[in-house]
């Protein structure tokens, strides 16, 4: 009876930050880095990250991109993406669909 209680107490005990971080990095897949075996990070056998990487970056003459996912009612909530960041000309991705946006070369915000 006592070993069972000790195991239950250990299972219910709060995790340390290091343990939680380690568990989080294992349980969530990240962008494929071409070094980790593909099967280890893609449990659902989805090729969504490879497909979105093939979509060309959308260049805009604006400092804000507006993404609604396309398709009208089949899209996603409207997201406003700030393109004028500290790292100039780095693509910014939509958090819903993954489409990447970048300011056109030579465009300066506020003009």
Q: Measure the CA–CA gap between 50 and 58, rounded to whole angstroms.
A: 17
Structure tokens at 84: 């004028």
Q: Is 58 helix (H, G, I), strand (E, B) or coil?
A: strand
pLDDT band at 5 (very low <50, low <70, confident <90, very high): low
pLDDT digits (tens, 9 = 90+) for 11-61: 555 555 555 444 444 444 455 566 665 555 666 778 888 888 899 999 999
pLDDT for residue 94? 93
Domains of the chain: 1-46 (no CATH), 55-106 (2.60.260.40)
More confident residue, 68 or 88: 68
**Long-range contacts (CB closer than 8 Å, 24 or more residues apart) made by 79-83:** 83/109
């Amino acid at each position: 009876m006592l070993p069972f209680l000790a195991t239950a107490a250990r299972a219910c005990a709060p995790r340390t930050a290091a343990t939680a971080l380690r568990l989080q990095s294992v349980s969530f897949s990240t962008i494929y880095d071409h070094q980790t075996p593909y099967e280890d990070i893609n449990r659902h056998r989805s090729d969504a990250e490879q497909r979105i990487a093939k979509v060309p970056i959308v260049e805009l003459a604006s400092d804000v991109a507006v993404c609604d996912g396309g398709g009208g009612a089949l899209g996603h909530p409207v997201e406003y993406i700030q393109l004028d960041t500290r790292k100039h000309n780095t693509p910014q991705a939509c958090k819903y669909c993954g489409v990447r946006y970048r300011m056109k070369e030579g465009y300066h915000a506020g003009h």
